[in-house]
Amino acid sequence: MLDTLLQIGKTLRKSGRLRHHRYIKPAPKAEMTKTGTIKTDVVYLVLPVREDFTFDFDNLEDNFHNENIIPNFYYLAYKSADADSSVKYLWGDISYSVDKKGKEQGSYRIDKTKNAFNRANKDASFFVGTAITKFRHSFDINQEQIENLLRKYSQEKNCYLHFNFQGKHWYQFEDELKAVNKKFLQDFIGEKQNDSIVLRKNLYKTLASPEKNLPFPNFSASNIYKTRTFQSEDEVLDLIYAINYSTKAVISERDIKIIILPKGENLDAKDIEEFFERRKFKDADDAEDKLIEQNKNEPDMLFAPVVDENVSSDIVEFDFVFSKAGGMTSPDVDMIELAGIKRSSLAELATRANKLRQNIEAEREKLVGKSDKIKSLNIKWSFLNILGDVTKDKKKYQSHLLRVLPQIYSGTYYKDAVLLPAFIEKTEYNIRQEKSDFNLLKFNYEFLVKIRNNNGETAMEDMKNSKSYAAGKLLGRLAQPVSWEIKSFEKNYVGLLSRRISDKQGLVAFANFINQKLAIHERVYPSLKEKYTELADILSEMENKEYHREYCAFGFFEGYFAKFEKPEKTVIEGENQ
């Protein structure tokens, strides 16, 4: 995964894509809410800098609006360590704002105890003899006036101060930009070990740092080279250019982040940027409530980013990293990595899943009809419907998704021992909550079963051909009239079904109970009598070791929630088997 990241960084660096630099950020842009109100307002100031690096305040532009130039505004977010939380201002443009609580934001701090310009004085000594030194000298003289500008224009707005060096941007001073990168490398790179370059400060999440607690017991700082070495300083710089993509989720679902890195021999910067940025991937937290109805030929959400035909055909493989998202002060934690998953294989999986979805949705439509309120099936949504609970975090769902998604992408999703018990549990819970939706939920289960790669097509058939399923379905049919007579039957018996049929003996006892209630309430219709006889035959033939509780429960729900077969007019009274 790191090798792929370095190749991406090399491509971006050589193409001059400055915005991908870890510590160089684009100017903030004004944003509007969906209702048309201002979410983020930005005022752009342009301060001319003369050839001798003095500032021309008389020609300050305080309402700059050139939309062709603003996209070229960048500022330096200088740090001497990736974990450094202090803000230092070295030179160049400034992004500054104050939030509602009065806390300073952006690349500058005015507060005397945290002043960003003063904090960078020690680092600035590295740049003696460069334009940076001349600029800082002029800034030092005019510091109070500049900070007053930032205060004035940051009231309820983001203030962006651009320094115009006779038509040049600060980053167009090539020698100075090289010097800044050299300083970054000096800060991050330690002494060579085993003739290789190693990091002495934390830059990338899976690389150890001797300046922090080492992640391995009895592992000394002198052995850092054993975790990962770099062949040159340029390779470290490649990492600085690509590292933002190492934490950018292409697909996310609550605390799960799926980082996907494209691979190919002839990829250029445009190919890479297009893959990451053209689709505007939505977070799954919003998707749960605002699922977009899928077009019949549109791939599942999980596959859409990697099989998009509009993305460069030079992308032939992907590396996947499944991470648990960190918090405000904690980093993401990488859980599983998949390397070199072929795009063609993913396309085959996506096509198969899409075909299965269409077939199952057609079956669903025959049973429950067509409605705009019934959402199209997709993998994440189906797992959520079965494994989701009333808690906000839905930990059971997230934990299972993190386990099975790597299997789905790698084509190794063969078995899932969790799914059927969870489906039965969810069905029973919904019944107890008087929100029974078995005839919809079962299609989510069938979809997830059939996308398995070796036996998905036959797994449903194996269940439906079992004696346990057949017995359950017959018993479900027999239970229908009982629910009409006993108001609490559905909630107290059907909603707790798996407890009552935990083994074959429990199933027999429950069958006798239902038969007795049918007799008491004079509901032993001839058709039901036949079903009970058939059930008795199955139970007599079925050995204890053949019994499968979940199969039986699934069959019961199939029978119980099916359309009731109208009885014949003749009623056999007092029948008790």
Tens-digit pLDDT profile for residues 224-273: 444 567 778 888 899 999 989 988 889 988 899 999 999 999 899 999 99
pLDDT of residue 292 exceeding 80, the answer is no
Q: How many domains does the chain have?
A: 3
Q: Is residue 230 part of a domain?
A: no
Q: Is residue 174 part of a domain?
A: yes
pLDDT tens for 324-375 read: 888 767 778 889 999 999 999 999 999 999 999 999 999 999 999 988 889 9
Of 308, 323, 341, the residue that ends a domain is 341
pLDDT tens by residue, 515-541: 999 999 888 788 888 999 999 999 999
Min mean pLDDT across 34-38, 297-301, 477-481 is at 34-38
Q: Is the pLDDT of residue 87 over 50?
A: yes
User: Where a domain ends, among 341, 360, 394?
Assistant: 341
Ranges 331-340, 460-469, 494-503: which has the least confidence:
331-340
For residue 204, what pLDDT band results from cuts at 50, 70 and 90?
Answer: low
Query: For the residues 300-312, what does the mean pLDDT come to?
Result: 91
For residues 183 and 82, state if they share a domain: yes
pLDDT for residue 443 is more than 50: yes
Give dist(CA 284, CA 331) in Å, integer: 20
- What does the pLDDT read at residue 30? 83
Mean pLDDT lowest for which of 54-68, 272-286, 464-478, 563-577? 563-577
Whether residue 169 is found in the same domain as residue 32: yes
- What is the identity of the amino acid at 130? T
In the predicted structure, residue 205 carries a pLDDT above the cut 90: no
As a whole number of angstroms, the distance between CA 199 and CA 229 comes to 8
- Under 8 Å between Cβ of 435 and 519: no
329 dihedral zone (left: phi>0; alpha: psi -120 to 50; beta):
alpha
Give the per-residue pLDDT at 332.
81
Residues 183, 265: one domain?
no
| Structural domain of 326 | 251-341
pLDDT, greater one: 15 or 328: 15
Q: Which residue has the tokens 């806390």?
A: 103
Statement: residue 511 has pLDDT above 90: yes
Same domain flag for 30 and 132: yes
Q: Largest Cα–Cα distance in the chain?
A: 109
Let me know if residue 119 belongs to a domain.
yes
pLDDT at 122 over 90: yes
Q: Does residue 1 lie within any of the structural domains?
A: no
Q: Which residue has the higher pLDDT, 281 or 362?
A: 362
Work out the mean pLDDT of the chain and round it to a whole number.
87
Residues 43 and 185 in one domain: yes
Question: In whole angstroms, what is the distance from residue 557 CA to residue 309 CA?
Answer: 42
**Residue pair 177/80 in contact by the 8 Å Cβ criterion:** no
Q: What pLDDT does 190 receive?
A: 66
For residues 405 and 445, is the Cβ–Cβ distance under 8 A?
no
Q: Is residue 14 part of a domain?
A: no
**What's the angle, vertex CA 377, arms to CA 372 and CA 379, rounded to 5?**
150
Q: For 437, phi and psi rounded to 5 degrees?
A: -140, 30
Same domain, 311 and 164: no
Are residue 56 and residue 169 in the same domain, yes or no?
A: yes
**167 or 228, greater pLDDT:** 167
Contacts of 203 (CB under 8 A, 6+ apart): 82, 188, 209, 236, 239, 240, 243
452-456 mean pLDDT:
75
262 with 272: CB under 8 angstroms?
yes
Tell me the residue length of the chain.
577
Residues 486, 570: one domain?
A: yes
- Please state, for a pLDDT cut of 90, what percent of the chain lies above it: 66
Q: Is 67 contained in some domain?
A: yes
Same domain assignment for residues 189 and 66: yes
Work out the burial of residue 73: count CB atoms within 10 Å of its CB; fewer than 13 is exposed, 13-18 middle, 19 or more buried.
buried
Q: Does one domain contain both 475 and 334?
A: no
Within a domain: residue 179?
yes
What is the structure's pLDDT at 194? Answer: 60
Please tell me whether residues 52 and 157 are part of one structural domain.
yes
Q: Is residue 218 part of a domain?
A: no
Q: How far apart are CA 553 and CA 549, in angstroms?
A: 6
Laid out side by side, the sheet with 317-324 consists of 251-253, 256-263, 317-324, 333-342
How many helices and strands (H and E) does the chain possess? Answer: 22, 12
Q: Are residues 57 and 123 in the same domain?
A: yes
Kindly report, residue by residue over 416-426, the tens digit of the pLDDT. 999 999 999 99
User: Per-residue pLDDT for 576 more than 50?
Assistant: no
Domain end point (choices 308, 341, 374): 341
pLDDT of the residue at 192: 64
